[in-house]
Structure 1
Amino acid sequence: MNKLRLPAMRAGYPLAIACAVLAPLGVHWVVGRTLVCLDTQILYAPQRWMVDEALRAFRLPLWNPYMGAGVPFLADAIHGVLHPVSVLTAWLDTDRSADVLIGGYVACAGVGAALVARDMGATRPGAAAAAVVFGTSGYVLSMTGNLVFLAGAGSLPFAVAGLRRFAAAPGPVSFAFGVGGVAVLALSGDAQALMVSGVLALALAWEAAGARGGSRAAIAGFVGLLVAGIQLVPSAVHVERTVRAAGTWFRTPFVWALEPTRVAELVTPGLMSGPDPFVDRVFEALAGPGGWPVGTLPRPFSQSIFIGLVPIALAVVGVREGRRGRVLGSLALLLLWIALGPRLGAESVLRHVPLWRSFRYSEKLVAPLTLVVAVLAGLGLDAVAERRARGRWLCIAAAMLALVSVSALLLVASALPPDAASMANARILRGASHVSIASIALVGWVVLRDRLGVGGGRFALLGLVWASMAAASPIALRPGDVTSRLGVPGPSLDAPAPGPRLLVPYTHEPLSVDPGFDWSDQAGRVHAPIGYPAYHVRSRLDSMYVYNAMAPARLSRLNQALSVHWAEVARRYAVTHAAVARPITFQQQTLYALATSGAKRVALGPDGDELWAVPHRDWATFALDVHGVEDVQEAIFELAGGTDAVLVESRGQFAVAPGRVLSIQRGLESLRVEAEADAAATLVIADAWWPGWEATIDGSVVMVYPADVLVRAVRWPPGHHVLEMRYHPPEVATGILVSAVGIAALALGMAVLRRVSTARRTTPGT
């Protein structure tokens, strides 16, 4: 019985932590609400079915045919396809998979923070406090609106804990933990979290075991990257073919860097928590021009960065816990400095670091900052519960934090324009009420500490930490109607096989809000029926619009070259319909006129948006005029000049002849075309050309050429034939091989470490 009880106790602790951090979210799920919002609602959830179906069929989702005439899917790492939480969610086979992912990542954030705190010497209650602080922090809960960064925050602690544990106590199990933690974080898709975790882990490994510990952590981290090669290699190859490789990402250091005025919000919640998720007047006034991405409405990157008065006061105590406390305190200040971006000069230093300058939005550094503060809070809880630190100093620290934070926010509000100042003052008043209640509760705990004893005091203080964090959670969460956000059907459009394809020349947010529905609900109700991105993917509807982390460079360059004329030229890529909102700006009026020229309106959306059937080139067609061009730049130049010829990037000869397409069968990563031509000809397929697409005609391999910058062309022999195409990117095979090498290295390392450990146990005097 004792043998059975021990595993149950070990499993019960992380289960209890998961329940504690999920409780503030669970109350919304129980009453039938969803926590899916913002980018999770618009970008990730509509495409999640491709991941679920592929993983349940034991295959990788390599290609998304519904964006930009087709784009790589696995290689766009933001979807975290192979993260363990993603894999488990796929097998649940639920239409609420995005909510399940949110729950899984938040639970991981809590359990991972507890592991870090335990490795740093915290007791179980202290580690539980760290779990609660990190798992229910404002930043983590705000990232329910941006799934990749929630996955990164949930995975970050495992990489840090695993590498530090292996550095401090090398052995086969700790080696596997370190390798696995890094691999899981790499599979989350958050590259910046991966880089930051390496720095954190090396610093904590040095604190634990000096230079040798750092070396061990580096080795385990490298093997972990190898294990994740199945994701990292395709992503690394893919990024060079996207706009990220162009360098334009590097020129916006101020965009979504942490506003210095928001530092007070770490203590006092709610400065940026308005009812509208798309526009925040307070943020707009504070950030000023250039404080948010071009083309988006002014709203903060993270709705809340709250950590809490009690946790930060405990963290101040935790800094005094020896060298580990001082190291963690120094790391917290460093991370805060980096999160401020160019405000205090961090950007001017870090832009010289390879890879770092390709990242945007310095505010993302609030995640590791919160983790470090959470661990310090766990250490501080143990110190005050065991009376190594005086309760009086804890109360003084809390009072000073409350006074400084509220005063700073009021001072900032006084300098804002009147409308923003009124809004900010109302939010500050609400935050000050939260801080006041937390302060009173903390004083009460100090008064009762002696009566509660050490054990009771620990758990009472842990309960206070949890209650204060749970009370602030509504500021970060945006619960809403399940049907509006996840279930509104797309448009029903008629088009020949393989189906309709939409052009969305421009979009804007809903112009009206129904009473009783918030903006996220309204966005789903308005945008999904018209096929706006990425809701169209949920409806298995093609679109020439690309909404992802790494837009193809070819499509971007063509869009820039054609400018508003893209609304006309897109028709040569088998665009059957155009979805247009009511034009507001002069440019939108021009796009509206061009997109609807010669078209027929077929539907009207709930917000007045319109669907038009447009004249177009067929999806598969035999070219009657072909020009060979040297490269993509020449093809773009000729397209911008208005040519009607098909432009093939090859100097070889391409025959032209009339023909007939008899049947088309199109899968997610394959297609089959049966056709006949009167003579040797060139067949153009209006799906995106991309390295990795292979073709055969009647079983014989043929070359696939890029045509018209974006799509594919093949030479067609005279007569009746069958063309088959499949997407087999070689970088995926390379990634699988790298992962196999990583797994072999993991197995070999564990075997060597096991043998060393056995030899030490059997050698006398060791």
Structure 2
Amino acid sequence: MSEQKRSEQKLSEQERSDLAAVSAPWPVAKVFLIVCAAWLALSWPWLSGVVTVPWDAKAHFHPQLQFLASALHKGLSPFWTPFVFAGSPQVADPQSLIFSPPFALIALINPTPDFRWSDGALLGSLLVGALCLVLVFRDRNWHPGGAVVCALAFAFGASAAWRIQHVGQVLSLAYFAITLLLLSRALERGSWSYGFFAGIVAGFMVLGRDQVALIGVYVLAGLVIAAIAMAKQPLRALKGSMMPLSLGVLGAVLVAAIPILLTAFLAQESNRPMIDLAGAGKGSLHPASLLTGLIANLYGAAGPLENFWGPPSPAWEARFGPVDLYLARNMSVLYLGLLPLLMIIGVGVVRGGLWRREIVALSVAAILVLVYALGRYTPGFQLMFAALPGIDLYRRPADALFILGALFAILGGYFTHLVLTDTAPRPRPWQIALEAALLGAAFGLAIWLAWTTGRLGVAALPAITALLCLLLVAGALVAARGLALQGAGMAATLILAMTMTIDLSVNNGPSESTALPSSRYEVLRADSSNETIALLKRETARTAGPDRRDRIELAGIDFHWPNASLVHGLDNTLGYNPLRLGLYSAATGAGDHVALPDQRTFSALMPSYRSLLADMLGLRFIATGVPVEQIDKALKPGDLVQIARTADAFVYENPRALPRVLLVTNAQQADFDAILKSGQWPAGFDPRRIVLLDRAPPKLPGGPAGPGTVSIRDYGTTDVTLEADAPAGGFVVLNDVWQPWWQVEVDGKPAELLRANVIFRAVQVPPGRSTIRFTFRPFEGLFQAIGERIRKANPPPV
């Protein structure tokens, strides 16, 4: 048979195969079943409750879920919490989970969700994102085997696996995948409904208000532009996309506009600084970290901590010099399975598959995101930092590994599709040699780095594991390709799914970075029997009075302790949150968290637990992981009284703590900024007799002086009702944190909310009995702030 006839026969066979593929139904249900089975197998350690997602997922986010659930089931608003930092506006906090559908749904269903609920929400969100990527493959009629590789690499690869404790970023990643599906369908089908719902989901992604969401928005916008520009008729494509995209913008605005504005206005009065280029550069991905794409635990990121030797560890810097990076050990791991990696390197890079028309936009996006992640190690990040709005709000370019993992997962799945359908570019001998050389060079470099750093013993097992997985993947790929070309596509898909599951369970499975025993976080259970918590509950109940609601402080006990007060309803002067009211932080020295004793810093106005501000806060009980004198070196014998020594903490009482509410009859104006800076109260100031205001005090109506009283009638989250009996009138001082979105009424009539004693709230009351109600109204406060901003920007003509 001549070469021409053989080519014609081959072409006709390919055409028949293509026609058969188009006409045959794509096995969505079967692929979903395979992905769900693999997801269950890989997720089971967490879902079983044996281990739980640790670190921030428990120290920060799980208490937020507990507070949200408790507030909703008690009929209280979750928009403000009194249980951390002496009061915090949850509604404006992007990490409060109020606007997170999966966690909000859990809070509505379960008043006391345990760790499996919060872990399940995380893993379930990744599953939904993975299934959406399966539908992306289905819409393009790409091979089911490629879809499975993509889905599993997305859900259990790179930062999705290694940084699962960063709840908000994981949710943003899941929303990215969902939006990608809806947006692609909106453009391909000219669908208004898909466009609108793409905007809704994108709105929830933006509500994460994290760097993953920001990068995801830029990537999605770039893909939209590329899809229109690369269409056969760009102008027609642009015209057809206008309505879906407009409805998408509308959907996103409906979901995200008000919460984002709340956060933006909160940020103006928060502790959160703007990040400069040098500061952001400290969160860059070190180029040597790219080797973790081949050997997952090369640098010992899985633990224990002393084994970690990658940049920026002491072991690395001792050999190669300082790198000045600020990254945790698990923030630089790129591993998403050897199969997608081999596909990207071999079919994509070496054979040029990256530049195929149907995938080139994703390839360019992945390259740009990689450049972003490398941060200061490329000039590209500096250009992006200067040109793209929002970049200077974030400190860690390495966060881009979330989106990079998703893009690599899609590319790896696509190139697997090419191999299984025999449409991949045929490798030439030099290309095969180059692929082998690249793999060999990467392994060689990894071993050399480990040897020269003196950590060959740590790297040996991960390297051997990678080699064994390489053999497994190569064998599985050959078998799957053979079955696929024989028409057994689902058998090939199943082989690849099993291979990916084994690979990811071995290399990206539970580790010290991603899974710790659930028992370690027992104090964060709503039904915890922890001795320290039980003691603090008893003591605060014992000292409670009509005018008194004492606060506690948890300092230097452990990383997950500061937000335990959210779980157990204890009014805490500290907590764990990167975003806090700036006024409160400046006044008290409150930092992000107080896991270690030296992280409890003080301020000029609160230089010690033995200070007037501590007393005014009503800080009665202090639990510390070490003797309190090691934290507060200014204390003198007798300043605090030790009342207990529990298994976790030393517990002290401050007998000078003042009541939560006070009635005073004298007021004077003071310079609060000067007081904050100097730490000096005005001479003769006694908060039981005088209230300091930031303006000239209003005049009292006068009348016969006599003993007055004030008491707490009801204390909720966003409503505080007081009863006052002031014979001569006066000022009711509520020693809760001042924030402009609070409003106050006296006997049902609006009154002026006064900022008192630098950080507290007060209101003037008339002679006689009166009822005072403080109410947190963030939306009304936001609209008033916007109106004030507009008025200042557009003053009336003179």
1:407 counterpart = 2:444: yes
**Distance in 1 separating the partners of 2:41 and 2:650:** 40
* Aligned 8 A contact 2:751 2:763 in 1: yes
Q: Which residue of 2 aligns with 1:478?
A: 514
Q: TM-score, normalised by structure 1?
A: 0.82
* Aligned 8 A contact 1:339 1:365 in 2: yes
Q: What does residue range 343-382 of structure 1 map to in structure 2 within 5 Å?
A: 343-352=377-386, 353-382=388-417
1:164 counterpart = 2:184: yes
- What one-letter code is carried by the residue in structure 2 that aligns with 1:537? L
Range that drifts further, 67-76 or 615-624:
615-624
Q: Which residue of 2 aligns with 1:259?
A: 286
**Distance in 1 separating the partners of 2:140 and 2:682:** 66
* Aligned 8 A contact 2:627 2:650 in 1: no
Give per-residue Cα distances to partners, 1:148-190, cap 9 Å, x unaligned: 1111122111223322332333113321332233123123x14
Q: Following TM superposition, by how much is the alpha carbon of 1:596 offset from its aligned partner in structure 2, in angstroms?
A: 7.6
- Unaligned 5+ runs, structure 1: 1-5, 510-522, 525-531, 738-766
Q: Following TM superposition, by how much is the alpha carbon of 1:671 offset from its aligned partner in structure 2, in angstroms?
A: 1.1
* Aligned 8 A contact 1:683 1:714 in 2: yes
Q: Following TM superposition, by how much is the alpha carbon of 1:265 offset from its aligned partner in structure 2, in angstroms?
A: 0.4
* Aligned 8 A contact 2:617 2:657 in 1: yes
* Aligned 8 A contact 2:34 2:494 in 1: no
Q: Structure 1 residues 451, 278: CA separation in 2 closer, same or farther (over 3 Å shift)?
A: closer
Q: Which residue of 2 aligns with 1:601?
A: 642
Q: Following TM superposition, by how much is the alpha carbon of 1:86 offset from its aligned partner in structure 2, in angstroms?
A: 1.9
Q: Following TM superposition, by how much is the alpha carbon of 1:89 offset from its aligned partner in structure 2, in angstroms?
A: 2.0
Q: Following TM superposition, by how much is the alpha carbon of 1:614 offset from its aligned partner in structure 2, in angstroms?
A: 4.1
Q: What does residue range 215-254 of structure 1 map to in structure 2 within 5 Å?
A: 216=242, 219-228=246-255, 229-244=257-272, 246-247=273-274, 252-254=279-281
* Aligned 8 A contact 2:127 2:155 in 1: yes
Q: Structure 1 residues 565, 625: CA separation in 2 closer, same or farther (over 3 Å shift)?
A: farther
Q: Which residue of 2 aligns with 1:633?
A: 673
- What one-letter code is carried by the residue in structure 1 that aligns with 2:365? L
**Distance in 2 separating the partners of 1:470 and 1:170:** 40
Aligned residues: 693
Q: Which residue of 1 aligns with 2:744?
A: 695
Q: Following TM superposition, by how much is the alpha carbon of 1:135 offset from its aligned partner in structure 2, in angstroms?
A: 0.3
Q: Following TM superposition, by how much is the alpha carbon of 1:140 offset from its aligned partner in structure 2, in angstroms?
A: 0.5
Q: Following TM superposition, by how much is the alpha carbon of 1:552 offset from its aligned partner in structure 2, in angstroms?
A: 0.7
Q: Structure 1 residues 123, 58: CA separation in 2 closer, same or farther (over 3 Å shift)?
A: farther
Q: Which structure: larger Rg? A: 2
Higher helix share: 1
**Distance in 2 separating the partners of 1:478 and 1:170:** 42
Give per-residue Cα distances to partners, 1:96-130, cap 9 Å, x unaligned: 33222222222133223334444566333322221
Among candidates 439, 450, 461, match of residue 482 of structure 2: 450
* Aligned 8 A contact 2:86 2:572 in 1: yes
- What one-letter code is carried by the residue in structure 2 that aligns with 1:721? S
* Aligned 8 A contact 1:115 1:158 in 2: no
**Distance in 1 separating the partners of 2:276 and 2:78:** 27
* Aligned 8 A contact 2:295 2:335 in 1: yes
Q: Which residue of 2 aligns with 1:88?
A: 105
Range that drifts further, 655-664 or 541-550:
655-664
Among candidates 711, 721, 724, match of residue 773 of structure 2: 724
* Aligned 8 A contact 1:596 1:612 in 2: no
Q: Which residue of 1 aligns with 2:8?
A: none
Q: Which residue of 2 aligns with 1:755?
A: none
**Distance in 2 separating the partners of 1:364 and 1:559:** 31
Q: Which residue of 1 aligns with 2:550?
A: 500
**Distance in 2 separating the partners of 1:315 and 1:325:** 12
Q: Which residue of 2 aligns with 1:749?
A: none
- What one-letter code is carried by the residue in structure 2 that aligns with 1:82? F
Q: Following TM superposition, by how much is the alpha carbon of 1:74 offset from its aligned partner in structure 2, in angstroms?
A: 1.9
Q: Structure 1 residues 592, 540: CA separation in 2 closer, same or farther (over 3 Å shift)?
A: farther
* Aligned 8 A contact 2:275 2:392 in 1: no
- What one-letter code is carried by the residue in structure 1 that aligns with 2:222? A
Q: Following TM superposition, by how much is the alpha carbon of 1:600 offset from its aligned partner in structure 2, in angstroms?
A: 0.9
Q: Following TM superposition, by how much is the alpha carbon of 1:403 offset from its aligned partner in structure 2, in angstroms?
A: 2.5
Q: Following TM superposition, by how much is the alpha carbon of 1:91 offset from its aligned partner in structure 2, in angstroms?
A: 3.6
Q: Structure 1 residues 410, 278: CA separation in 2 closer, same or farther (over 3 Å shift)?
A: closer
**SS of aligned partner of 2:200:** helix
Q: Structure 1 residues 595, 145: CA separation in 2 closer, same or farther (over 3 Å shift)?
A: farther
* Aligned 8 A contact 1:687 1:712 in 2: yes
**SS of aligned partner of 2:193:** helix
Q: What does residue range 294-333 of structure 1 map to in structure 2 within 5 Å?
A: 299-300=328-329, 302=331, 304-316=333-345, 317-318=347-348, 320=353, 322-333=356-367
Q: Structure 1 residues 72, 447: CA separation in 2 closer, same or farther (over 3 Å shift)?
A: closer
- Unaligned 5+ runs, structure 2: 1-23, 590-602, 787-798
Q: TM-score, normalised by structure 2?
A: 0.79
Q: Structure 1 residues 389, 194: CA separation in 2 closer, same or farther (over 3 Å shift)?
A: same
Q: What does residue range 120-139 of structure 1 map to in structure 2 within 5 Å?
A: 122-139=142-159
* Aligned 8 A contact 1:677 1:720 in 2: yes
**SS of aligned partner of 2:395:** coil
* Aligned 8 A contact 2:277 2:382 in 1: no
**SS of aligned partner of 1:570:** helix
Give per-residue Cα distances to partners, 1:163-221, cap 9 Å, x unaligned: 2332333113321332233123123x143223222221122223333266676475355
Give per-residue Cα distances to partners, 1:59-94, cap 9 Å, x unaligned: 862111111211110210123322221233224413
Q: Which residue of 2 aligns with 1:661?
A: 710
* Aligned 8 A contact 1:278 1:299 in 2: no
- What one-letter code is carried by the residue in structure 1 that aligns with 2:473? L
Q: Which residue of 2 aligns with 1:759?
A: none
**Distance in 1 separating the partners of 2:46 and 2:25:** 32
Range that drifts further, 698-707 or 660-669:
660-669
Q: Which residue of 2 aligns with 1:565?
A: 607
1:540 counterpart = 2:569: yes
Q: Following TM superposition, by how much is the alpha carbon of 1:546 offset from its aligned partner in structure 2, in angstroms?
A: 4.0
Percentage of matched positions with identical amino acids: 18
**SS of aligned partner of 2:359:** helix
**SS of aligned partner of 1:131:** helix
